[in-house]
Structures are given as structure tokens and as C-alpha cells.
């Protein structure tokens, strides 16, 4: 399979600020080759019913996914609102610019 696109899966990090409080640090970016796909109409309406708006779908090799909650595509950070695999080898990541629940 030919992988046409590149996305970055983002892993959150924690750091301490000047007051010793734990705060979110810069995420660790990991490059992953992917194929951009269309958002299926059924996926769009199911997500919209619970207040989410799926904007992009990417297919990646399932082994590449480590449970990340965010992805960067072309400089825009998206929330991974759902993952789906029907064969165990590839995984679809459904992305939205808005976080779950608001």
C-alpha cells in the first residue's frame, strides 16, 4: 500500500512551572505515514448527534498507533475523536479540531 500523506501523532507531556506546579509541556511529535480519506456520511451524522464534527479521516498502519489523543496535519492540531479498524492491520483515525465534550 502506498502512503501518500504525513501526519504527526502527539503525546502529551508534563513539566513543572516556576511554582512547582505540574503543567502541560510541549507534546512529543511522532511522524506517521498515512492516507487521507473522506469522512463517511454516517460517521459525520453520528458524531454530529453528540456534538462533535469529524473533519478528517486518516488511515495508518495499526502498529503505529500508541493511544495518542491528538494529531497534527499541515500545522493544524486535531483531536482524535475515534479510531476504527476492520482488519487489525490498518486503523482509521477520525479527527476534529474541537475536543470531545466542547
Annotated domain spans of the chain = 5-96
**DSSP assignment letter at 95:** E
Q: Is the pLDDT of residue 96 over 50?
A: yes
Distance CA 66, CA 8 (A): 12
Stronger pLDDT, 75 or 40, i.e. the higher one: 75
pLDDT at 38: 86
22-72 confidence digits (pLDDT tens) = 998 899 999 999 999 988 666 655 655 556 677 899 999 999 999 999 999
pLDDT at 102: 45
With a CB cutoff of 8 Å and minimum separation 6, the contacts of 67 are none
CATH number for 5-96 (one of 2.40.10.270, 1.10.3720.10, 3.40.50.620, 2.40.50.100): it is 2.40.10.270
Angle at 28 between CA 26 and CA 34, to 5 degrees: 130
What value does the mean pLDDT take over residues 80-100? 87
Amino acid at each position: 500500500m502506498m502512503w501518500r500523506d504525513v501526519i504527526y501523532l502527539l503525546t502529551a507531556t508534563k513539566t513543572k512551572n516556576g511554582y512547582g506546579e505540574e503543567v502541560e509541556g510541549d507534546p512529543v511529535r511522532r511522524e506517521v505515514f498515512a492516507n487521507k480519506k473522506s469522512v463517511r456520511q454516517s460517521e459525520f451524522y453520528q458524531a454530529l448527534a453528540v456534538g462533535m464534527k469529524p473533519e478528517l479521516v486518516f488511515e495508518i498502519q495499526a502498529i503505529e498507533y500508541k493511544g495518542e489523543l491528538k494529531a497534527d496535519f499541515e500545522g493544524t492540531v486535531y483531536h482524535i475523536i475515534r479510531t476504527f479498524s476492520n482488519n487489525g492491520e490498518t486503523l482509521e483515525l477520525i479527527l476534529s479540531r474541537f475536543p470531545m465534550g466542547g
